[in-house]
Structures are given as structure tokens and as C-alpha cells.
Amino acid sequence: MDLLNTLVDKGLRRELPTRDEALAVLATSDDDLLDVVAAAGKVRRHWFGRRVKLNYLVNLKSGLCPEDCSYCSQRLGSEAGILKYTWLKPDQASDAAAAGVAGGAKRVCLVASGRGPTDRDVDRVSETIKAIKENNEGVEVCACLGLLSDGQAERLREAGADAYNHNLNTSEATYGEITTTHTYADRVDTVNKAHAAGLSACSGLIAGMGETDEDLVDVVFSLRELDPDSVPVNFLIPFEGTPLGKEWNLTPQRCLRILAMTRFVCPDVEVRIAGGREVHLRTMQPLALHLANSIFLGDYLTSEGQAGKADLEMIADAGFEVEGTDQVTLPEHRASGGCGSGGGCGSEGPEGNGVCGSAPAPQAGEPRTDLVAVRRRGAGTDLAPNA
């Protein structure tokens, strides 16, 4: 297929596809799916080999968020029966992180619900970062605390944070339909603050919220322009008790196309399969490793993932290897800071302005509420974590 050959060539050169090319990936048929995976897999292996980076989530503060993000089980007014607790103490968070590191995680992601941290919260998280770093040699720490105020990213960096996560989630045009208590521009500002402070920026998307193919391409192109080092691709977990609890718009095949499109647009960044892979990819998860070079190990913030042991077996059975703490995740030109922020990485090809109007509507998956399990173990409980 000429399209795939073109996209592989561009991916190896770090050249931006056109919008029409990205849309065409999402519009491919199931008959062509394995060809799409094989092509994107060439780009993935060129930049990241067969390594898979493991990340581990620690939910420092769960529930009771004042924001109204429609997809979130922790949102204002959520009726999802999730765990709710206030800040973990640094030693509690460090113990939780150690379980993930013991399971093979290279990065620990510290997340707290809320609009954004107060200065006192930043102090608290700084102590937690220091405790984790002291007890786990070589581990990376990423913070995800919401919208940042001036100077807070610098303080987190001084405390030892390596990265900051703040997702764009969806296209700018439709953002107001998902969240009303803050803006898309607020999110972009926080990613830029992380960049400016010298933190590795992590920013991604959520698929499955009823968006169009054009929305998906818009948000991934916006991420390319923001130039994060890692792009987590979340697949909506439709929690009962949230506004999007009835949205079951994804199939395993569509998830693979979304990951492939993301890889073609962001060829040399860490593409991470994040929340919802067990729910929507299901038995197709091993194929997704040919597209993404990073996953979360074990459970998520408020939902359970598959057993950590099963994650490790899946990686080995698919012919991949877990990335060690002595290995550098990013290609040399990114790890050495050779790419400037704000304009994407690599030589930029001409961006097409046309919109592909012939793409078929996404096929909805059958609701699998049996696969959505509220987390009842790990951080904030007395039960052992899944790692």
C-alpha cells in the first residue's frame, strides 16, 4: 500500500505526515489492519527497538475533584463507587512505588486529583519525590497534579521530579463539550510550564469519548507541535456514574489504528498505552506492543488493570523485553535535548489542509461492563498492590 510505504519513510525521517495521510490510517479496513500494524511497527522498532518501558501509577489523593471532566470517575458529582482518600504520606507513597519498581517499573507516576496543587501541596509532593528517589535507585518520577501555577514546575524539578504529565485529552474544537471548569488553553499552558522548567513533558489523549476521526488527528497534531517526550494514549473507561458511562465506541481494531496513527505522527517519542487497554484491546493487547513502546504496569488510578505478572508474560510472549533502568528510553537526538520545544521534532513536511470526508463512522464495541472493575487494592487501602 503506497500510503503505508510513504508513512514509514516519513517516520524514519521524523517528517510530519499530512492530515489526509493521518486520517487515511484511521479509515483503513480491517482487511488492511495487519499491514498498518506492520508498517507502524517498523517505525517503532527503528527508534525504540523491542524495548517496552514500564510505568507505575500511585494515586496520591483519590476522588472529590472540583473539576467536571466528563470522562473522569473522580469528577465533581461522580457517582462512581471509587476509593476516596486524602493525601498519602511520603512513606506510604514510597512503599506503593517500591511495589511497582520491584515489578519492573522504570518510572513512577504520582497523581493527585484536583484542579491544581497549592504551594503546600507542592511541598508535600516534593517530600514524596525525595523519599521515592532515596529508596529506589535509578527510578524516574513523573508528577501529575493538574494545572500548574508559576514557579511550581521549577520547584518540582528541584525536588527531583523528572517529568510532568498533563494531557490535552481531545481536540481544541470539542474540549468545551468534555470539560467546562477549565480550558484547553489552560492545559497547553501547563505543558509549556513543564517544558520551560526543564521537566520532560508528558501529554496525551483519551479516545472513545464520541470524537470524530478529525478530532483525533487534531489532538495528535497538537501534541506533535507541543513536542512532549511521551504521549500516553488512553482509551475511555466508561465508569457507571459518569456522564460518559454509556460511551462504548471502541473496538480492538480501532484502538490499533489510533495507536498506529499516533506513532506515524509522533515517530520518535515514547508512545504509551495507558488506561483502558484491557477493556478495549482485550486479547489484541500484544499487537499493540508493535506500535507503542511503553505501558502501565498493574492497576490504574481508580480501576483495576490486568495482573502485573500477566503484563510481563505478555511482553515476553510477544517477543519484546522490559526496558532496564540502565537504558535510555528516548533516541539520542531527543535524550540529548537536540530538539527544540514548540515546533515538533525533526524535519517538518508540508501539512495538508484538506479533510478526508469519506472515512466511515467508527463501529461501536459491545459494552463490556464486566471488564470495568473499581480499584480496591494498593494505594489508599490495606491490601497489597497489583504490580
202 in a known ligand binding site: yes
pLDDT attached to residue 355: 36
Instruction: Indicate which residue of 19, 157, 257, 272 is catalytic.
Output: 272
69 in a known ligand binding site: yes
Cβ-based burial of 183 (10 A; exposed 0-12, middle 13-18, buried ≥19): middle
Instruction: Indicate which residue of 19, 69, 257, 375 is catalytic.
Output: 69
- The count of domains in the chain is 1
pLDDT attached to residue 337: 57
Among 386, 374, 375, smallest CA distance to 307 is for 386
109 in a known ligand binding site: yes
Does 202 qualify as catalytic in the annotation? yes
155 in a known ligand binding site: no
Q: Is residue 258 part of a domain?
A: yes
Cβ-based burial of 162 (10 A; exposed 0-12, middle 13-18, buried ≥19): buried
Residue 4 per-residue DSSP state = H
Instruction: Indicate which residue of 202, 255, 266, 339 is catalytic.
Output: 202
Q: Is residue 122 part of a domain?
A: yes
Instruction: Indicate which residue of 44, 109, 157, 277 is catalytic.
Output: 109
pLDDT attached to residue 358: 41
Count the neighbouring beta carbons within 10 Å of the beta carbon of residue 204: 24
The full 3-state SS of 185-231, as one line of letters, equals HHHHHHHHHHHHCCCEEECCEEECCCCCHHHHHHHHHHHHHHCCCEE
pLDDT attached to residue 364: 67
Angle at 197 between CA 196 and CA 202, to 5 degrees: 80
Q: Over the stretch 160-211, which tens digit does the pLDDT of each residue have? A: 999 999 999 999 999 999 999 999 999 999 999 999 999 999 999 999 999 9
Does 272 qualify as catalytic in the annotation? yes
Residue 136 per-residue DSSP state = S
End-to-end, the C-alpha distance of the chain in Å comes to 41
Q: Is residue 179 part of a domain?
A: yes
Q: Is residue 301 part of a domain?
A: yes
pLDDT attached to residue 303: 84
Q: Is residue 344 part of a domain?
A: no
Partners of residue 58 on adjacent β-strands: 110
Q: Is residue 379 part of a domain?
A: no
Tell me which residue range forms the domain holding 277.
16-326+358-371
Instruction: Indicate which residue of 19, 124, 142, 144 is catalytic.
Output: 142
Q: Which residues of the chain have pLDDT under 50?
A: 338-361
Q: Is residue 335 part of a domain?
A: no
Q: Is residue 7 part of a domain?
A: no
Among 288, 298, 182, smallest CA distance to 233 is for 288
| Distance separating alpha carbons of residues 122 and 155, to the nearest angstrom | 8
- Here the CATH number for the domain that contains residue 316 is 3.20.20.70
Does 142 qualify as catalytic in the annotation? yes
Report the SS3 class of residue 6.
Answer: helix
| Distance separating alpha carbons of residues 170 and 338, to the nearest angstrom | 28
C-alpha cell belonging to residue 216? 483525533
